[in-house]
Chains A and B, each alone.
Chain A
């Protein structure tokens, strides 16, 4: 049963992962209030720990070549328990998708179009995502090549333009925030960007050369992480103690650019970059949800499920979240704990159970 006929190359996988990690440019502002000017240390720590955890996902995919997350769960836990665990994953992906939909609509509402009803932005955004997902994974990855270059170049250009306003002494009292706060901030950054690489277990089977999926994913994580690191250093050095207070440090920092009173108000560039990146992230989560659901209910094509899942995710995000305060509190204090179960406990358990049952060898003999 092959639901996805498209194939992607490992270079395209690298760009997709790069885009996916860079998408944390704006969600990163949930970490600034907790570890104020030490956030860049938290980014480095999250990058290292996230790469180590990604090795678990990659080895899980390497044990079962050509199988996605739902099929792997079926093989490891048997048909019934495996279906139950896959269903949990799909619900989690759906909740994440609705969270991202809410985040982008709230972002557009706050900074660009303040008087628009939130549901209209959500509907337009998810319509485009649904269009991309209906075309398959090939189209999404081909877009990601362009979409990963634009935001990275915007980050580096704004870094260069802001150099004269920066004071690097703002970074200096290292490890000033208590270790608990630093740990919490690392955990937040991990669960909004680096650990979400788990969703690529649904994409890895469609890479045309099955062997080396390890290098593109790790390289993509590291290069995307470097972009986030540069942007966080830029924000802290330009804003100083203000970076923990403002709603969106990236936008506020870029707003400071003033070169000869001609190059000003460049924050719309950051907004553009963020919309492109969040589009890729939402597409990947959307695709994983739809494909997983189609695999669970043993369908022959996943295309008819795209629109109902889109409607369901819009409804979920309108029902779930009502204010920015609620989302910030939830992301800063609660969802790191919830996502621990999906990002760390279940994959480790799957790997251990697979090793104990000596699974791939048995399958080869049959």
Chain B
């Protein structure tokens, strides 16, 4: 599974990065690598079996139990 993920991400890098370097889009390259590394870290953590918190559930908890704003 981990091998497949590494393959997919390196495929994305091979797909995007050469044209960025050729056109000297350095700022674009920085933003691209930041986003891709965030998603790579989350995917690897998820695959290795870490329980990551769910953003939607966190939002639900804040709105429902902390702010007490809902239709009940």
Contact = CB atoms under 8 A, between A and B. Distances in A.
Given A315-B46, A326-B57, A333 B27 contact: no
A146 interface: no
Given A308-B35, A334-B70, A336-B71, A320 B57 contact: yes
Nearest to B36: A308
A348 interface: no
A115 interface: no
Interface in A293-343: 293, 297-301, 304-305, 307-309, 311-312, 315-316, 318-322, 326, 329-330, 332-334, 336-338
Q: Give the interface SS of chain B, mostly helix, strand, loop or mixed.
A: helix
B46 to A, nearest CB: 7
A184 interface: yes
Interface in B10-52: 12, 15-16, 20, 25, 27-29, 31-32, 35-36, 38-39, 42-43, 46, 52
Given A95-B56, A315-B42, A333-B72, A297 B63 contact: no
A180 to B, nearest CB: 8
Given A316-B55, A334-B59, A297 B71 contact: no
A330 B55 contact: no
B53 to A, nearest CB: 8
Choose among A99, A297, A334 the residue with the greatest number of B CB atoms under 10 Å from its CB: A334
B46 A319 contact: yes
A297 B27 contact: yes
Size category, A interface:
20 to 34
Chain A interface mostly: helix
A99 B43 CA distance: 18
Contacts of B63: 334, 337-338
A299 B31 contact: yes
Given A299-B31, A308-B36, A333-B70, A315 B64 contact: no
A321 B56 contact: yes
Nearest to B19: A304
Given A309-B35, A315-B46, A300 B25 contact: yes
Nearest to A329: B60
Nearest to A311: B39
A162 B46 CA distance: 47
Contacts of A326: 56-57
Nearest to A299: B28
Given A300-B25, A301-B28, A337 B55 contact: no
Given A334-B64, A336-B71, 5 more contacts: A304-B31, A305-B28, A305-B35, A319-B52, A326-B56
17 contacts: A95-B56, A99-B56, A293-B31, A304-B20, A304-B25, A304-B28, A307-B16, A307-B36, A308-B12, A311-B43, A315-B42, A315-B43, A319-B42, A319-B53, A321-B54, A334-B59, A337-B69
